[in-house]
Amino acid sequence: MARMKFLCDADRCIECNACVTACKNEHEVPWGINRRRVVTLNDGLPGERSVSMACMHCTDAPCASVCPVSCFYTTADGVVLHNKDTCIGCGYCSYACPFGAPQYPQMANFGTRGKMDKCTYCAGGPEADHSQAEYVKYGKNRLAEGKLPLCAEMCSTKSLLAGDGDIIAEIYRERVVTRGYGSGAWGWRTAYGETVTV
């Protein structure tokens, strides 16, 4: 079984925001929520770098460890999902997440405890694959169609990689060896507890 991961090569991201747009369009993500965002560090200064941030589907996910109603679960592919029927919108996962992934709807009064929303790795949710209920709550289930997350598929510079962790780590290693530098696997160690050794 594959262990699905994201790798953001910050040395390649050109801040085009195609990943953000692709995600929002593919899943019809509501107003006020972006499951993925691009953060630019040292904007306009030497050393400027951008990183595409979303749920990294951590190996030992902090969000799951703090959820008081245990609404998170990890699939056989290593994708961290949550059950919106169980989520009470307490917000604690947003404090625990190292990537700022959990989002909350802004249309309604938050006091009514809107459900948390986050990247699903295009893997839907606990409902039946490709059901209307799954689409409405979580968006498309591309993984069940044998496809990878659209954000990574759309990335024009292949800064954002998605797929089995061993395979994308190998791609990144080859890349670093070829170009002769590399410090861009942003968040890899935080998410997966290991470094990409080159």
| Sign of the dihedral through C-alpha 105, 50, 60, 20 | positive
How many binding residues for another protein (CB under 8 A)? 41
**Beta-carbon count within 10 A of 45 CB:** 7
Determine the interface stretch with another protein among 8-16, 79-87, 146-154, 177-185 (rule: CB under 8 A): 79-87
DSSP for residue 112: G
- Choose which of 14, 30, 95, 129 interacts with another protein (CB under 8 A): 95
Rounded Cα distance, 7 and 155, in Å: 12
How far apart are alpha carbons 113 and 188 in whole angstroms? 31
Query: Nearest distance from residue 151's CB to another protein, in Å?
Result: 18
Q: Indicate which single residue of 2, 96, 148, 198 sits in contact with another protein (rule: CB under 8 A).
A: 96
Distance CA 173, CA 128 (A): 37
- Segment interacting with another protein (CB under 8 A) among 9-17, 103-111, 149-157, 170-178: 103-111
Residues 107-166 interacting with another protein (rule: CB under 8 A): 107-113, 115, 127
Which of the residues 17 through 36 are near another protein (CB under 8 A)? Answer: 32
- CA 38 to each of CA 34, 133, 159, 187: distance values in angstroms, whole numbers, following the listed order: 10, 29, 12, 13
List contacts with another protein (CB under 8 A): 32, 37, 39, 41-43, 62, 65-66, 68-71, 85-92, 94-100, 104, 106-113, 115, 127, 190, 193
